[in-house]
Amino acid sequence: MWLLPSPFLSPLARSADRWRLHPWAAAAGAAWADLLAVLLPTSCVVCGAADVSLCPGCRSRVRRSGTRPFYAQETAELLPRSEDAGGRGNGTEGEELPLRVLSAGRYAGSLARVLLAYKNHGHTDLASVLRPVLAGALQQAVDDVEGGGHGNGPGVPALVLVPVPGTGRARRRRGYHPLGLLLSALQSGSLLPAGTVLEPLIRPARRSGREVLHPVALLAAVTGGRSQKSLGRSGRRRNVYGTMTAGEPGTLAGIRCLVVDDVLTTGATIAEATRALRAAGARVEGAAVMAATAAPACDASNRDANPNPL
């Protein structure tokens, strides 16, 4: 049997996964999928074990890493302020604290590799392991919001789960919207927190009929692919400002929202989503994500653990 030299195997495997897991391949049926599995073999995205996208051991580690949620807002320097005095009981009256962001786990180790493969390498088959991670984060965040004096009592509107929108450019490149795919599955399976509704209230902003580029797409277009990591704090804020809209002022008056995203790093994206919602009159109670970058004090040797668990 002819084998490629080892330096070519990893890039070939990544390309093979994109073809094998593309939506058109799934629609072609089981027989075609079996043929592609033979022609285009896959490997575990975490440890490299053959023939599976995620081996049983790594699958267990990913599940464990998403079972100890924590609040990650203290290390995301670009998050907006909370609308509650003292950040809902976590400070003194009049003190401005950042918007609370509940994360299911750390963006490190197994969870980070799975998220990266799911988002950027076409591994839609990994949605099955990420759905419970997202569901757990949503449930904990909703429980905390509704337990903080803003619950569904008489006259209190339902909490709306608002996903951060993807761009048309990203959807065309991937063939799917990663966060939307997970949320749609949770909704169809009746796995969203009770008393909430899922509504895509935010959309990419348009100027003169053209979509305003999302920061990642904008950087790729003007800097040859550099990410936001190369920008300072003010640069990151400017890079994302004005890229989202939720409608004209007052159109969302009385609406209570929980912003939903996949990963929290600096908080710039959630800040822009919050700005758009508040500009339309909505109240943003907090946010929930599947993973967040680690706090500086977190033990880097335990890459699948969570800092500050609830």
Residue 202 has pLDDT above 70, yes or no: yes
Q: Sign of the C-alpha dihedral, residues 224, 119, 139, 167? A: positive
Q: What is the mean predicted confidence (pLDDT) over 74-97?
A: 70
Task: Please count the other Cβ atoms lying within 10 Å of the Cβ belonging to residue 290.
Answer: 29
Q: How far is CA 154 from CA 150, 151, 157, 158, 254, in A?
A: 11, 9, 9, 11, 14
Q: Cα 126 from chain centroid?
A: 14
pLDDT confidence bin for 310, thresholds 50/70/90? low
pLDDT confidence of residue 128: 95
Distance CA 43, CA 17 (A): 9
- How much of the chain exceeds pLDDT 70, in percent? 65
Residue 16 has pLDDT above 70, yes or no: no
Would you say 181 and 131 are in contact if contact means Cβ atoms under 8 Å apart? no
pLDDT confidence of residue 264: 96
pLDDT confidence of residue 184: 96
pLDDT confidence of residue 83: 84
Q: What is the pLDDT of residues 150-193, one digit of tens each?
A: 555 556 789 999 999 988 788 788 888 999 999 999 999 999 99
Q: What is the pLDDT of residues 19-44, one digit of tens each?
A: 555 555 555 555 655 665 566 678 99
Distance CA 264, CA 253 (A): 27
pLDDT confidence of residue 230: 53
Q: Judge if pTM exceeds 0.85.
A: no
- Residue 87, sorted as left (phi over 0), alpha (psi -120 to 50) or beta, turns out to be left
Residue 109 has pLDDT above 70, yes or no: yes
Distance CA 269, CA 254 (A): 23
pLDDT confidence of residue 4: 35
What end-to-end distance do the CA atoms of the chain give, in Å? 53
Task: Please count the other Cβ atoms lying within 10 Å of the Cβ belonging to residue 30.
Answer: 8
Residue 92 has pLDDT above 90, yes or no: no
**For the purposes of burial, counting CB atoms within 10 Å of the CB of 8, is it exposed (0-12), middle (13-18) or buried (19 or more)?**
exposed
- pLDDT mean across residues, the chain: 78
Choice between 310 and 308, residue whose per-residue pLDDT is larger? 310
pLDDT confidence bin for 90, thresholds 50/70/90? very low
pLDDT confidence of residue 66: 87
Q: What is the mean predicted confidence (pLDDT) over 37-58?
A: 86
Q: What is the pLDDT of residues 209-242, one digit of tens each?
A: 555 544 444 444 434 434 555 555 556 666 788 9
Both tokens of residue 213? Answer: 């580029």
- How much of the chain exceeds pLDDT 90, in percent? 53
Q: What number of residues does the chain have?
A: 310
Q: Where are the alpha helices (DSSP H) in the chain?
A: 6-20, 23-27, 30-39, 56-65, 86-89, 109-120, 127-145, 168-174, 178-188, 215-223, 233-240, 268-279
Task: Please count the other Cβ atoms lying within 10 Å of the Cβ belonging to residue 153.
Answer: 8
Q: What is the pLDDT of residues 261-279, one digit of tens each?
A: 999 999 999 999 999 999 9
pLDDT confidence bin for 75, thresholds 50/70/90? confident
pLDDT confidence of residue 235: 61
At what angle are helices 6-20 and 30-39 packed, to 10 degrees? 170
pLDDT confidence bin for 51, thresholds 50/70/90? confident
Residue 301 has pLDDT above 50, yes or no: no
Q: What is the mean predicted confidence (pLDDT) over 122-146?
A: 95
Distance CA 133, CA 69 (A): 10
